[in-house]
A and B are shown apart, each in its own frame.
Chain A
Amino acid sequence: MTVEQLYRYRHPSILDTDGLRLATSGGPADHPYFFDGLIERPPIVAAGLLAVARVARTRFYTPPSMVAAILRAADPIVTSDGAKLRFESFSADCGVYARLDVLPDGLDTAPHARGTTNVDFNGPMRDALAGLSGHDPMHLAVGDDEVRVRTLDAEAVERRVPLPGRWVRSLAELNVIARAMQPAATYPAAHLRRLLQTQPRGPRNAGVLHVTPGPGGPRLATRPAAGSVAVAGLDRLRVVEPLLRHATTVRTFGLNTGSAWLLEMPTARLTVLLSPAVSRGFSGEGGLLETGPDHDAGYDLADGSTFDRELPLDARAVYADQPRLRDARALVEAGAVKPGPAHTIVESGGTAYTVRRTPDGERCTCAWFATHGLGRGPCKHILATRLPRAR
């Protein structure tokens, strides 16, 4: 299932001698106007925005059947809570999430409005950001004031981007996943940079390795240890590399073979979440199957708090359309669930699967459960056995 997201900007975002002017689309207004002021550390914000933009336009994993994916990426979004600005993006394969938080001490004035909107990150603006240097504060505008709006009609930008349903569901899953992540080791940023620099680049790094604290800095291991977090596809973590020279520390968080990396920088933070496997987007993690959708909130690992974020998407209905839940409902409707005293038989696709309860949770004889257990949420057969009881 694919939904079409329409981005309408009054003008392309631009970085020039007047500063960085980000065009907005959708959210609390057609073109919200959140912020107009100075940012204290332009190189950090520039590098952070480039990292967010890079994630948005990258497909870290291409399924074997998809030889050359033509990528039309979803634009990053920015959220203003009246104190901070949070820029978020999501990779096209739904496996990498990045968020740059520009903290209050990085802004000379508080944002004057709240809400979430899309921002245009076009190529020329990215090129200009890449060449940004200097220590002087830089002007940043997120949206346009009324005076400027009147001059902009001729520059309008409109773009339609097909968003796969799993992209939208992945965004919704992130909140649940981030909440469940456990803090692990904290490293000086230089340690992480060294680790990344000593590893070869390329597709051979697609497996799961564990970044483990050790003498002289983190090392890679094939099994978890105290303080370790897993990295599925070390190359995906390289999105943080340009920011490491600005970072003081890197905090890590883990959940199964997924991980989060939080770079603490003067006046800003960058959070990157990696899915549990390169070939797995967040959409299939099944957290929402246990908790239900809570798509209007983000989660900040830095202080363990939620933040409001009403997504400016045309596709929110997709949240409820979880394929496994849909399949489970179909099984129930078809009368395929046959409870018994010791176990329940669920007939699906010509096979009778056995679901039973154990002290560690339900078990099933299907391939999904054999591969993932309950680590990605229940399989459709277990879900189906739950549904009749819920009724």
Chain B
Amino acid sequence: MVFGMKEGTPDSPLDTLRWYEIPEGVMLQFRLAGPVVRACAWAIDALLRSVIYIVLAVVLSLFGGLGGGVMLIGLFLIEWFYPVVFELHNGATPGKRAMGILVIQENGTPVTPSASVIRNLLRSADFLPFLYAVGLIAMLSNRGFQRLGDLAAGTLVVYRDQIKERVTPSNAPPLKPPLNLSEDEQLVLLSFAERGGELSEERRQELANLISQQTGLEGAEAVAAMTAYANWILKGR
């Protein structure tokens, strides 16, 4: 999630976030997909591909030598170009889509035809010597979780951004906080008001009690006070 400027700095060393400055002058943030989620996506695709092979084999076996020829061409196309077709269509194979991830260029634009072909041809090098061992080592030794094909093609696999509901602030009357708050402290309060709904009442109270020394309030009253302060920051008087 996006937090203030200071937290998510573009050079924070230990993070799976990747930052890219777009021509409009703002920083885009991508959440990189790691080896496990990508392996799951690959497994789903492998399953789907075997279903396609079986269906093809059953249908084409009715057509003798002609069917056999078509089958072999189909095998070839699916083996090498199945990911390319889906990546160019909407950025993700069905497996990746199911796992909520997609392929993009390092600059955040959709994957280009050349890049998609390169990353999928080099799949055969990443697969060596068995089950993507080379690819896994490559992924673990760079910051972008990129296998060799991604490195050469300049592509990233990232999580698809969820479209979120807009949060409506509570109707509690705004209340001026008892002391002057720094920007970071204000953000903590706003964050508490916006995300509090995801927590249990007990946890909310526990968090609100952390500043009872300053507010002199405990439990439910402290929670209400925090919300009121947040509303003051949001709306003013």
Do A and B actually bind? Answer: no
A→B interface (CB under 8 Å): none
B→A interface (CB under 8 Å): none
